[in-house]
Structure 1
Amino acid sequence: MQQRTSPEVAMSNATAVNLPADWSPSSWRQRTALQMPTYPDAAALDGALRELHALPPLVTSWEILALKKQIAEAQEGKRFILQGGDCAETFDGCTSEVISNRLKVLLQMSLVLVHGLRLPVVRIGRFAGQYAKPRSADSEERDGVSLPSYRGDIVNGPEFTAEARIPDPRRMIKAHARSAMTMNFVRSLIDGGFADLHHPEYWNLSWVGHSPLADEYRRMVDGIGDAVRFMETLSGNQLHNLNRVDFYTSHEALLLPYEEGQTREVPRNWGWFNLSTHFPWIGMRTAQLDGAHVEYFRGIRNPIGLKIGPSVAPEQLLKVIEALNPDNEPGRLTLIHRMGAAHIAEKLPPLLAAVKREGKRVLWICDPMHGNTESTTNGYKTRRFRNIRSELEQAFDAHAAAGLHLGGVHLELTGEDVTECLGGARELTESDLERAYRSTVDPRLNYEQALEIAMLIVRKRGQIVGL
């Protein structure tokens, strides 16, 4: 093992970080890789990967290290993580309206959280690369016809035709381009003052003017605006640090050839970085200790996430933690638990106790979405808001009982006027799903439901810490 001390670790008085000498961006190829498509044309795949490797990166190493430092502070209870976005991006969804509306929702949620939690909020978008999706089966059957499953726009098309479902390596190049467009637009909006706290009206969504939550949100914004103007009156100057915010990207690093193609060494920073995103995560279906995804993740310097479900045993989790963060580096590892409302009270506490007992530095985040998916009688895949709310509340209680703190939330949401999750402020029913169900994979919270979750977090955490 080659030992190097990173600047951000040295500042925290932690031990040196070891670079695994037996690792390379392609060493995952020696392991079993689950959830991988089978490309029919090996030469076309090789050509696409060569082109991908030559394309510019989407993020920088210093952005990645800045996020890692903020996650380390969240581990100490000094920040709160808001991670959210689409279940699966689509190429057609790379439009200014879709991107700006999604950004508006996350900004409004973060404003609610900052105001209510009295903590800085780290905003991590689940976009600019969330184009691959794991599937429960390799094939899909309709009316007696069997075709390869849709694995996200980066792999194949959602249309149920033989041609659309053929994995196409050129889609990786298109995904890189769409991710770059999304990233560029988000950065331009933020740098141009879109996130300026002096002008929260920039964040308004036209379709929610009569939302049941609109009045409460506006009162909160007015209160913050009054406070800002008061402080500026006292100082005689405008508070310029309110003009913009930091914003980071994340996606499930599922398609390993794509991730390898954007994994680079950079000048003035040692080690390897996945420069396709700031914060990649391992999904529950690919978190095997001896699997290709854990092998790939153990060698990159990004802060990383690990999804954990109700089937994970404490000893199993500790082994994966050791593989991914053997030096117990602050900010390195985030555990995103997704248990389901019916299982979290039983399954989460043993994991919390084991990780705490071993002194592992991790950030705990709750994903209250994925464990609560069900199908309705009229054939829609959905989630009930009451179950999402219940899992989140139980998560706060479990962490408090263990003497720990829940440091963030991971949500699938959109700024579009969709009807995909049941319940919430407008009490959506099964019959409402037909009006605006647009997701190609999993159901998402709409604006009202997402904002209600933010307000719930504030109330629940306030009860626990006495705010």
Structure 2
Amino acid sequence: MTVPPLLDPVGPADRAPDTRGSADSEAGPTPPSWHPPAWRGLPIRQQPQWPDPDEVAAVTDRLALLPALTTPSDVRSVLAAMAGVQNREAFVLQGGDCAEPLGPAAVTGARDKHRVLGAVAERVSTGLDLPVVTVGRLAGQFAKPRSAAVEEVAGRRLPVFRGLTVNGPGPHEDERTPDPYRMLSGYYTARDVLRELAALAHGTASTFAPRAWDPAAAREVPWNRREEAVPDGSLRSLVQGYGQTRWTEDGGWRHTGLWTSHEALLLDYESPLTRRDPVTGEWFLLSTHLPWIGDRTRHVGDAHVEFLAGIANPVAVKVGPGADPAEIVRLCRRLDPYRRPGRLTLICRLGARELRERLPALVTAVRRAGHPVVWMTDPMHGNTTATATGVKTRHLKDMLDEVTDFFDVLRGMGEWPGGVHLEAAAAEVTECVGGSRVAHESDLGAAYESLCDPRLNNEQLMTMADMVAKLAV
């Protein structure tokens, strides 16, 4: 077989050229006047009502002084990987919790997701005969948009649970009151998760290339190649081709690690973790590698879009069934005015019943406007239902149908179905209906553990992987 090249650029080629003052200076993604707080004063949605502005200021000041969680070199590697997906050289598997826990549970969960998503990626890579770029919904997936600001719990109206970096899920007024100091707990949890990913990368490196992460080995490397050989704090420096499945010398695809992603919802958290590259002048959101904004916050001119417009990361946008094609073109124009490969991903969450009707118009509009995007499907959010007793769930059959239709529509239009975005527990939970463990809605109570929306269990996730591998043939 012909082995596709690794999508991770290595060494000096990873650094974007410094084009300041040249005729190509407009190629940079950051507008000249942009700065991280530029979103303040713009219309903003889905933010908590913090009770004390002084506490918020104290927390954001503290976050601004803390070390960045990721590195520009890693972010550039993800941008290059997404450009490879756009060029039909790879596929994206993005998955993890709907709402991430805080503390040690998040670290344990990251370890489990590294293992389970890696197994899924290997299976999908075998079917596609291509690398799979693996991205976790982790190290920051704490805050959640909600359809209402309050809810009724045991006869009392309480602020809705918005994720553990905002408030708690318990049925008490004090726990539901937004607390900005929770954002610091989110930061330290994300830091610990990234440290765990780095530790796992060391183990992966010792399997693929035992000397690749040994600083002593650098003495035997030519001086002009040492940037490739010595770990520099980035994940990409630990394993060549980090964040994707890789063809090994003994044959077969093997998982190398997870990049991080989360919804960039809580701008009081994201803004102080945005840092400037002193060499290129670009601003990077260094709370994660691949941020996205949701269907509720993707309005051009609003705070979330303007915030993402200024950062150099690859970015993604969720697109729901109410999206107008012209509106999505305006969004593409704002987020990717220079049409950079890998910069913009559109994650369609249209629902199994509406995808065939709505996706073609979106694809046609974006293509006519000349915007290069990665098309992904989120088969979870458009297929959420509730049982007769009010338990939120999703049916595996609906999700498989949406993925099948996504592949059929895009291939029929000559476009590349670039990836799937899944909420998955990496455990044998019983939150979605389908498979041997949750054959009926009555089985949901056995192990329903999600903090928010229902997730796939391991059996259901592997069924999804088999479906994707089959569709790719």
Give the TM-score normalised by the residue count of structure 2: 0.84
Which whole-Å CA distance do the structure 2 matches of 1:337 and 1:141 have between them?
31
1:294 aligns with 2:300: no
- Is 1:195–1:243's contact at 8 Å kept on the other side of the alignment? no
Task: Map Cα deviations across residues 196-223 of structure 1 (whole Å, 9 max, x no partner).
Answer: 589xxxxxxxxxxxxxxxxxxxxxxxxx
1:268 aligns with 2:279: yes
- Is 2:68–2:286's contact at 8 Å kept on the other side of the alignment? yes
CA 1:274–1:292: 2 relative to 1, 3 Å: same
- Residues 29-48 of structure 1: pairs in structure 2 closer than 5 A: 29-48=40-59
- Is 2:127–2:472's contact at 8 Å kept on the other side of the alignment? no
Q: Say which SS state the counterpart of residue 163 (structure 1) adopts.
A: helix
Q: Say which SS state the counterpart of residue 151 (structure 2) adopts.
A: strand
Task: Map Cα deviations across residues 318-366 of structure 1 (whole Å, 9 max, x no partner).
Answer: 0011011111111110000000001101011100111112221100011
Which whole-Å CA distance do the structure 1 matches of 2:190 and 2:107 have between them?
13
Which whole-Å CA distance do the structure 1 matches of 2:459 and 2:56 have between them?
42
CA 1:374–1:196: 2 relative to 1, 3 Å: farther
1:160 aligns with 2:184: no
Q: CA deviation at 1:94?
A: 2.6
- Residues 410-425 of structure 1: pairs in structure 2 closer than 5 A: 410-425=421-436
Which whole-Å CA distance do the structure 2 matches of 1:194 and 1:387 have between them?
39
Which whole-Å CA distance do the structure 2 matches of 1:127 and 1:152 have between them?
13
Deviation larger for 420-429 or 259-268: 420-429
Q: CA deviation at 1:14?
A: 12
1:399 aligns with 2:410: yes
Q: CA deviation at 1:405?
A: 1.1
Match of residue 7 from structure 1: 17
Q: CA deviation at 1:194?
A: 8.7
CA 1:422–1:195: 2 relative to 1, 3 Å: farther
Q: Say which SS state the counterpart of residue 284 (structure 2) adopts.
A: strand
Letter of the 1:172 counterpart: M
Q: Say which SS state the counterpart of residue 176 (structure 2) adopts.
A: coil
Q: Say which SS state the counterpart of residue 192 (structure 1) adopts.
A: helix
Match of residue 352 from structure 1: 363
Match of residue 187 from structure 1: 198
Query: Which 5+ residue runs of structure 2 have no aligned equivalent?
Result: 1-14, 210-244
Match of residue 68 from structure 2: 57
Deviation larger for 294-303 or 420-429: 420-429
Which whole-Å CA distance do the structure 2 matches of 1:291 and 1:355 have between them?
21
Give the counterpart of 1:409 among 411, 416, 420. 420
- Residues 1-400 of structure 1: pairs in structure 2 closer than 5 A: 6-7=16-17, 16-17=27-28, 19-91=30-102, 94-193=105-204, 196=207, 245-400=256-411
Task: Map Cα deviations across residues 164-219 of structure 1 (whole Å, 9 max, x no partner).
Answer: 01111100100000011111112202212399589xxxxxxxxxxxxxxxxxxxxx
Match of residue 450 from structure 2: 439
CA 1:47–1:55: 2 relative to 1, 3 Å: same
Percent identity over paired residues: 40
Q: CA deviation at 1:300?
A: 0.3
Q: CA deviation at 1:95?
A: 4.9
Give the counterpart of 1:453 among 438, 461, 464. 464
Query: Which 5+ residue runs of structure 1 have no aligned equivalent?
Result: 199-223, 232-238, 463-467
Q: CA deviation at 1:244?
A: 6.5
CA 1:283–1:93: 2 relative to 1, 3 Å: farther
Q: Say which SS state the counterpart of residue 174 (structure 2) adopts.
A: coil
Which whole-Å CA distance do the structure 1 matches of 2:182 and 2:147 have between them?
22
Q: CA deviation at 1:8?
A: 10
Which whole-Å CA distance do the structure 1 matches of 2:29 and 2:190 have between them?
31
Q: Say which SS state the counterpart of residue 173 (structure 1) adopts.
A: helix
Q: Say which SS state the counterpart of residue 45 (structure 1) adopts.
A: helix
CA 1:195–1:395: 2 relative to 1, 3 Å: farther
- Is 2:197–2:257's contact at 8 Å kept on the other side of the alignment? no
Letter of the 1:102 counterpart: K
Deviation larger for 23-32 or 251-260: 23-32
CA 1:196–1:375: 2 relative to 1, 3 Å: farther
Which whole-Å CA distance do the structure 1 matches of 2:180 and 2:172 have between them?
18
Q: CA deviation at 1:42?
A: 1.2
Q: Say which SS state the counterpart of residue 59 (structure 2) adopts.
A: helix
Give the counterpart of 1:428 among 439, 442, 447. 439
Q: Say which SS state the counterpart of residue 428 (structure 2) adopts.
A: coil
